[in-house]
Each structure stands twice: as structure tokens, then as C-alpha cells.
């Protein structure tokens, strides 16, 4: 199992990685979408955990790019974000095109809960 973590905050990224190590899951941290794309090009992950709010821009462009490659269209994307996303957005057609697997709200959801949720999905 291999996961790419797109997370601009070094502390949060490290905490996620440490939790994955404890579960024997390989992962790599990318603080920027460019680096995340490189990592994914080198080795397609089983899932991507991503913040939506990145320094300077949103991760949406990265998601659109990822989904534009036929061989990367099925990689599950899990949002772990500090942005509160309206139900209206999540229910929109544009959002559906991104095929975001799940949204976890950072201020109220722990990293353990996120990883448990992802593992549950991937082991189905």
C-alpha cells in the first residue's frame, strides 16, 4: 500500500506519515501539487490524501490535472482540509467530475479517523 500526502503544513504532513508508518503503509509527502504530480508519475499510489487550501492556490487544478490522465483517473482522492466546504459545492456536477472519495474536516476530525476511514475503503 502506498499513499501520497499533499499537505503544505509540515507538522500535519509528518503526523499523517507517522500514523501511516505505524500501520506499515508506505507514503511520501509533497508540499506542492507539482511535487505530488512527480511522485505520482514515478509510482502510482493507492490513494492521495490532500489539503484543499495550498499556499497561493487551491488544489483543484491539481485534481483536474490528475483526472485528465486516463491511467490516474481511478486513484482515490481523500480531502483532509481546514476549509469548510458547503453541501451545495459537494453536491454540484463540477465536484462530481473530480471524483473526490471523501471529505474530512481537519478542525473536527482526527488523523486516526481519516486513516481508519481510508483503510476501510481500500480494504473493501
Partner 1 sequence: MQSHHRSDNEHNEKLNHEHDAVFMMGEELKKPLTVIKALAEYSHENDQSRTIILESKKALRTIDNMLLFKRIDADQLALQLSPVHVGSTLTQVAHDLQPLAAGRGCETEVFIQSGISSVNAHAGALKSSIECLWQAMITMTEKPSAMTWHVSRNKNGVQVSLTNSSIDLSRVALGRKNVAIGSSSQPYMGVSGAATDLILAHKLFLILGGTLRKTKKQGSEGFTVTLPISEQLAFL
Query: Quick one: 70 or 107, whose CB is closer to partner 1?
Result: 107
Q: Which residues of 69-84 are buried (b: 16+ CB within 10 A; e: fewer)?
A: eeebeebbbbbbbeee
* Least distance in angstroms from the C-beta of 105 to partner 1: 9
Residues that bind partner 1 (CB under 8 A): 9, 11-12, 15, 18-19, 53, 82-84, 86, 106-108, 110-112
Report the distance separating Cα 9 and Cα 79, nearest Å.
14
Question: CB of 49 within 8 A of CB of 25?
Answer: no
Query: Quick one: 31 or 44, whose CB is closer to partner 1?
Result: 31
* Least distance in angstroms from the C-beta of 58 to partner 1: 12
Amino acid at each position: 500500500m502506498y499513499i501520497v500526502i499533499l499537505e503544505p503544513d509540515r507538522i500535519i504532513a509528518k503526523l499523517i506519515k507517522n500514523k501511516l508508518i505505524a500501520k506499515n503503509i508506505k507514503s511520501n509527502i509533497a508540499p506542492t501539487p507539482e511535487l505530488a504530480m512527480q511522485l505520482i508519475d514515478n509510482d502510482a499510489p493507492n490513494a492521495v490524501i490532500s489539503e484543499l487550501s495550498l499556499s497561493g492556490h487551491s488544489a483543484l487544478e491539481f485534481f483536474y490535472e490528475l483526472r485528465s490522465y486516463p491511467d490516474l483517473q481511478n486513484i482515490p482522492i481523500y480531502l483532509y482540509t481546514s476549509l469548510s466546504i458547503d453541501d451545495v459545492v459537494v453536491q454540484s456536477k463540477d465536484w462530481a467530475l473530480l471524483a473526490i472519495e471523501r471529505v474530512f474536516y481537519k478542525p473536527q476530525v482526527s488523523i486516526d479517523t481519516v486513516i481508519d476511514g481510508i483503510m476501510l475503503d481500500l480494504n473493501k
